[in-house]
Amino acid sequence: MFVFLIASCSESDDTSSSQDPENPAQESKLLAFKKPENSTSSIPTELIELNKTNGAETFLSNIDNVESFSSTVYDENDNVIFAISDRENQNGDYVSQLVRIELSDNSVTTFQLENVQVYSIILADNNRLLAFKKPENADASIPTKLIELNKSNGSETFLTNIDNVESFSSTVYDENDNVIFAISDREDQNGDYVSQLVRIELSDNSVTTFQLENVQVYSIILADNNRLLAFKKPENSDASIPTKLIELDKSNGTETVVSDITNVDSFSSTTYDAIENLIFAISDREDQNGDYVSELVRIELDTNNVTKFPLENVQVYNIALAK
């Protein structure tokens, strides 16, 4: 299953949902990666656009010679999607590639990342492409370094060590404060997974963690008025299905319930549409044939109304808003 950052959520956020009538904002396009129909593989083979009002898809381009994506982000300055693609090398170790997709012509370029594995790419200050790197030749997926990736060739520059955190399930960049927020999950003394909010100050690379009250959350999002939102699963539950949308205090991790979320399954990807003040998410469920299929979930933050659109018996990943 893929976790997006937005992607998700990692592009520079326009925190205003209003538009200047004389200079209307360009409407964003909702893109996604689609796996082959009736395939057990999770490797995406098509880039598609999803209609934001009904989930209908439009084919854009084939995606060849990549493996499953673990993270994607949209670079508005260059009109490019960057993604991390992981594959198994000859030694049986997973290594990463940086994938660059030019939306002007849908061309795809890949750069091998020096036999290492990275996670959670982020566009940060001055449009830098950052990522978290796990130890070389390590079985653990715990990130230990924050690095910058060269967008033209994939070469890396070390920025800082990351200590005392577990694997990240979601990351987002706060442009206002020049901070990366991440969700780090760990196993407590009872064997339950609980979450921490991780705050990384890019001004000095300091790291602070806040325990999130013995609960597990997913898919943090920077939304209107620069609020940090997240989806929360039921306490003491084995299910990973989110049941509440919450706001997290960025200074201490305390939560405020925004809305109940009903009748959805676990989210594999989320993104925020600042122009319309909407959250879009991909929710996966098992159909009557035992195959996993996707739904597009649309959450209107002005009313907290939730609408779902089945995506034609296919499974998609890593939604991203582009221009």
Question: Using one digit for the tens of pLDDT, what is the confidence trace for 271-298?
Answer: 899 888 999 988 887 777 777 778 898 9
Residue of higher predicted confidence among 187 and 222: 222
Question: Sorting pLDDT into bands at 50, 70 and 90, what band is 11?
Answer: very low
Predicted pLDDT at 23 = 42
Looking at per-residue pLDDT, the higher value among 208 and 36 belongs to 208
16-25, 156-165, 301-310: segment of lowest average pLDDT = 16-25
pLDDT score at 139: 56
pLDDT confidence of 247, banded at 50, 70, 90?
very high
Look at residue 166 and tell me whether its pLDDT is greater than 80.
no
**39 — pLDDT class (breaks 50, 70, 90):** low
Least confident of 56-60, 93-97, 168-172, 232-236: 232-236
State how far the Cα of 141 lies from the Cα of 155, in Å rounded to an integer. Answer: 21
Mean per-residue pLDDT, 71-98 = 84
pLDDT of residue 170: 84
User: In this structure, what token pair is assigned to residue 88?
Assistant: 């198994």
pLDDT for 136:
67
23 vs 181, residue with greater confidence: 181
Question: What is the SS3 assignment for 125?
Answer: helix
Please state, in angstroms and rounded to a whole number, the distance separating the CA atoms of residues 158 and 275.
35
Residue 9 has pLDDT above 50, yes or no: no
pLDDT for the residue numbered 267 = 78
HSE (CB half, 13 Å, CA atoms) of 280?
32
What is the C-alpha to C-alpha distance for residues 129 and 170, in angstroms, rounded to an integer?
A: 16
Q: Judge whether 181 and 199 are in contact, CB under 8 Å.
A: yes
Task: Count the Cβ atoms, other than its own, within 10 Å of residue 89.
Answer: 10
pLDDT at 46: 87
230 touches 278 (CB < 8 A): no
pLDDT at 236 over 80: no
CB < 8 Å & 24+ apart, contacts of 197-204:
197/248, 197/253, 198/165, 198/168, 199/250, 200/146, 200/162, 202/124, 202/125, 202/178, 203/178
**Residue 66's pLDDT band (cuts 50, 70, 90):** confident
Query: Cα 303 vs. chain centroid, distance in angstroms?
Result: 24
Burial (Cβ within 10 Å: 0-12, 13-18, ≥19) of residue 5: buried
pTM of the model: 0.81
Give the CA distances from residue 300 to residues 22, 58, 66, 273, 308, in Å, rounded to whole numbers and listed in that order. 25, 23, 34, 10, 12
Which residues make beta-bridge pairs with 284?
294
- Please give the C-alpha separations between residue 161 and each of 131, 144, 164, 205, in angstroms, as whole numbers: 12, 6, 10, 8
